[in-house]
Amino acid sequence: MKRMLMASMTMAARIERAECGTVIDFASQARARGADVLIHHIGGGVAVFAGPGQPFNKTIGLGFDGAIEPEAFAEMERTFDARGGEIRVELATLADPSIGKSLTHRGYELAGYENVLGLALTPELIDSLAAAHRADAEEGAFVSRTAADQTRVWIETVTDGFLHPDHFDGPPPTESFERQTLIDVFSSSTATPNMALYLAHRDGLVAGGGAIRISDGVAQLSGAATLPAHRRRGVQTTLLRARLLDAARSGCDLAVVTTEPASKSQQNVQRAGFSLLYSRAVLVRPSSAEC
C-alpha cells in the first residue's frame, strides 16, 4: 500500500538539504574541470553561479535556518554582480515567510514555480515494485545501471529526450538550455558522488535514461527522459520502478522528484503514488550590469 505523504517543515528541510548537496556536487565537478564556478553559502543554503545559462545556477535551501540578515543578502548580491551573474532563488513554500518578503523588497521578481513530490518507500511498496519490475522484464522492458562503456550513450539519450519535451497544459518552463549545455551538465552528473545512472531498453533498443542521487536516506530522482520514438510505451514508468526499488534496497525511506507544474513528469509520478509535498517559487534578480 502506498502511504500518502504530507510535508512538514522538518521533511522539507531534509529535502532542501539534499538538494543543496546535489547543487554543490554539480558545481564542484564543474570547478574540478576548470570552470570558474561561484559557490556561496548563505542562511543554511547555497548559491551557485557557473556562467550564463547553466542549469545548476541557483540559490536553494533558504528559510530553514532562521532569518537572514540584510547584509547577508547584500554580500551575496555583490559577489554575483562582480561575476555579472543573475541570481535565481528557488524558495520552498514551507520556508520562513520572511525570506520571500525580504527578496521581494530587494527587487527579486517572481518567474514561476516548480513542484516537489514525494513517496514513502515502505516494505509493502518495495514488494509491489519488485513484482512490477519482473513483469516489465517479461514484456521486453529492461532497466539497468549504466556501465562505464555506456556513459556516452546515457548522456546522448537523456540530452535528446530533454531537447524534445512533451507539450502539456501548464505554465511554460522557467528555463531552457542549448544542447551543448545539457551535454556538459549530464557529463558532470556521471562523476557526481552518490549518483547512479540508468538506461531503459525496449525491445532491445535504448529508449530512455534517468538518474538517482542518494543523500541521508533521501532518493532524489532526476535526469529522466524518453526518446520521442518510445514515448507512451511505459518507459518512464519502468525507469521509475527500477530506481525506486534500488533506492529502497539501499536504505532510503523517502523518494523525491522536482517537476514543472502540470507537466507530463508530474503526471507520471503521481500515477505511481507520489504526493505533492510543496512548491518552490522561482524568484530572479538580474545582475546589476544588466539593469
Q: Which residue has the higher pLDDT, 51 or 92?
A: 92
CA 142 to chain centre: 24
Q: Which CATH number fits domain 9-115+280-290: 1.10.287, 3.30.420, 3.40.50, 3.40.630?
A: 3.40.630
Q: Is the pLDDT of residue 62 over 90?
A: yes
Confidence category of residue 217, pLDDT binned at 50, 70, 90:
very high
Q: What is the mean pLDDT of residues 219-232?
A: 89
Q: Which residue has the higher pLDDT, 166 or 201?
A: 201
Residue 65's Cβ-count burial label (10 Å; 0-12, 13-18, 19+) is middle
DSSP 48-86: EE-STT-TT-EEE-TTSSS---HHHHHHHHHHHHHHT--
Q: What is the tally of helices (H) and strands (E) in the chain? A: 8, 11
Q: Is the pLDDT of residue 1 over 50?
A: no
Q: What is the mean pLDDT of residues 156-162?
A: 88
Q: What is the mean pLDDT of residues 132-148?
A: 84
For the chain, what is the mean pLDDT? 90
Please tell me the pTM assigned to this model. 0.90
Phi, psi values for residue 215, rounded to 5°: -145, 115
Q: Are strands 87-92 and 275-285 parallel, antiparallel or unpaired?
A: antiparallel
Q: Is the pLDDT of residue 96 over 80?
A: yes
Q: What is the mean pLDDT of residues 6-12?
A: 95
Quote the pLDDT of residue 256: 98
The whole-angstrom separation of Cα 290 and Cα 275 is 39
Q: Which residues make Cβ contacts (< 8 Å) with residue 23, sequence separation at least 6? A: 46, 48, 56, 58, 60
Q: Are strands 38-42 and 45-49 parallel, antiparallel or unpaired?
A: antiparallel
Q: Which CATH number fits domain 117-277: 3.40.50.2300, 3.90.1150.110, 3.40.630.30, 2.30.30.110?
A: 3.40.630.30
Q: What is the mean pLDDT of residues 58-63?
A: 97
Q: Which residue has the higher pLDDT, 105 or 126?
A: 105
Q: Is the pLDDT of residue 115 over 90?
A: yes
The whole-angstrom separation of Cα 189 and Cα 182 is 11
The whole-angstrom separation of Cα 89 and Cα 149 is 37
Q: Are strands 195-202 and 109-120 parallel, antiparallel or unpaired?
A: unpaired
Query: Residue 135 is placed in which grid cell?
Result: 513483469
Quote the pLDDT of residue 178: 81
DSSP 170-229: SPPPS----HHHHHHHHHHHTTSTTEEEEEEEETTEEEEEEEEEEETTEEEEEEEEE-GG
Tens digit of each residue's pLDDT (9 = 90 or more) over 263-281: 988 998 999 899 999 999 9
The whole-angstrom separation of Cα 104 and Cα 250 is 41
The whole-angstrom separation of Cα 276 and Cα 257 is 10
Quote the pLDDT of residue 26: 87
Q: What is the mean pLDDT of residues 16-36?
A: 91
Q: Is the pLDDT of residue 90 over 90?
A: yes
Query: Residue 206 is placed in which grid cell?
Result: 535504448
Q: Write out the residue limits of the CATH 3.40.630.30 domain(s) in the chain.
A: 117-277
Confidence category of residue 2, pLDDT binned at 50, 70, 90:
low
Q: What is the mean pLDDT of residues 242-260?
A: 94
Nearest to 65 by CA among 6, 9, 7: 9
Q: What is the mean pLDDT of residues 110-121?
A: 96
DSSP class of residue 231?
A: T
Q: What is the mean pLDDT of residues 169-180?
A: 76
Quote the pLDDT of residue 218: 97
Considering 34-38, 75-79, 187-191, 220-224, the range whose residues carry the highest mean pLDDT is: 75-79
Quote the pLDDT of residue 56: 86
Q: What is the mean pLDDT of residues 211-218?
A: 95
